[in-house]
A and B are shown apart, each in its own frame.
Chain A
């Protein structure tokens, strides 16, 4: 079950590279104006979901935790992180502008925002691995878990983001890295959070402004292995193809050298490294 977990349980003494929340100011219009900082929580997404179910949570609420004891990745996968070394947060947005078939755009803006954040702080070329993992030099530096709640056409989305910041040891098999490993520096986690929240609101406003075509272009421009001929695996068959498109629904289009095109949903296709 843990085969795809992102980080090794490698417990080291807590290293809090974080100035406490007083004066936590985000340079945004609404995102992070309601800010919750937790020392420890099961998972920031669970906390967000409980908050949504029990209170009227303001749009753009940001929840940040120094430690998650049951961090979650994709269905059934754990997200493990050394205490105090990485950024774990969830952002709550509400909108009635998106149809269920369009909601992949949330994945796109979150991926673009994280990609730009990591690039800004590390100065390293960073890319998006479809659908929304963030990679540097073919290693994963960030992942996210997006959970949506629909009430009619009213969508409440919880964008859970984990970015490896100062952790330096990872299980080899995980193909993971951190900002610190690629930059050679120790980074302030609150600075990363501020940059992230700002970037996220910026691109969230693109959704509000209906700039779906621009978002699509930006997403594809920053996609790992886009238009590169590489190995992929589907139904236990390995073949060579190139990513030629990502549809609004999130489906990835692969084109083989003979021109044959095929669409894949998440989990129908595997990248071969």
Chain B
């Protein structure tokens, strides 16, 4: 088996949601395990703690604010981290070139601040002249576009940050 074939196989197994694959050929054996992926398979790109956590943090922030002058270091530093944990990353499903617009003179599919729905087209990834329309798997608001238009992207590279609340 070629190295590229093994790489493809690993990606394939990772994507498929299968937990373990074993292949045995003449003088070659490979076993690929995807540990505990199964549980989060349906929402691979979702790194949200608990849906209930979002309002709690929002409530906590103003409450913490008056305290801030007294002890600025702790709450201020931790707040953004907690917040970003509630954002969802939309990741590249394939290697290719990232396009934010359907054509060079058109408007981008989405801008920061736009509300998007699950199933909405948000970008194109061109891979070997195959134009892959990428739809959002989640609804929410675009917080950040993480990749420049027309730049190369790797498999699993985060493309957008979405606030689902």
Interface window among B8-16, B31-39, B63-71, B78-86:
B8-16
Interface residues of B, CB < 8 Å — how many? Answer: 28
Cβ of B99 < 8 Å from any Cβ of A?
A: yes
Chain A proximity of B131: nearest CB distance (Å): 5
Q: Choose one: A75, A150, A250; the contact of B132 (CB below 8 Å).
A: A150
* Residues in B neighbouring A249, C-beta threshold 8 A: 4, 8, 95, 127-128
Please state if B129 and A149 are interface contacts (CB–CB under 8 Å).
no
Bitwise, A142-158 to B at CB < 8 A (1) or not (0) is 00011111110100000
Q: Choose one: B94, B129, B131; the contact of A101 (CB below 8 Å).
A: B94
Please state if B130 and A146 are interface contacts (CB–CB under 8 Å).
yes
Cβ of B103 < 8 Å from any Cβ of A?
A: yes
Q: Choose one: A72, A104, A145, A150; the contact of B128 (CB below 8 Å).
A: A104
Chain B proximity of A225: nearest CB distance (Å): 17
Please state if A103 and B131 are interface contacts (CB–CB under 8 Å).
no
Please state if A76 and B16 are interface contacts (CB–CB under 8 Å).
no
Instruction: Tell me the complex Cα distance, A110–B122, Å.
Output: 27
Please state if A131 and B133 are interface contacts (CB–CB under 8 Å).
no
Bitwise, A128-168 to B at CB < 8 A (1) or not (0) is 00011000000000000111111101000000000000000
Using CB atoms, name the residue of chain B closest to A132. B129
* Residues in B neighbouring A150, C-beta threshold 8 A: 93, 132-135
Cβ of A99 < 8 Å from any Cβ of B?
A: yes
Bitwise, A1-31 to B at CB < 8 A (1) or not (0) is 1000000000000000000000000000000
Chain B residues numbered 103-118 whose CB sits less than 8 Å from any CB in chain A: 103-105
Please state if B130 and A106 are interface contacts (CB–CB under 8 Å).
yes
* Residues in B neighbouring A151, C-beta threshold 8 A: 119, 135
Chain B proximity of A234: nearest CB distance (Å): 15
Given A75-B99, A75-B103, A101-B94, CB of A107 within 8 Å of CB of B129: yes
Instruction: Tell me the complex Cα distance, A72–B124, Å.
Output: 15
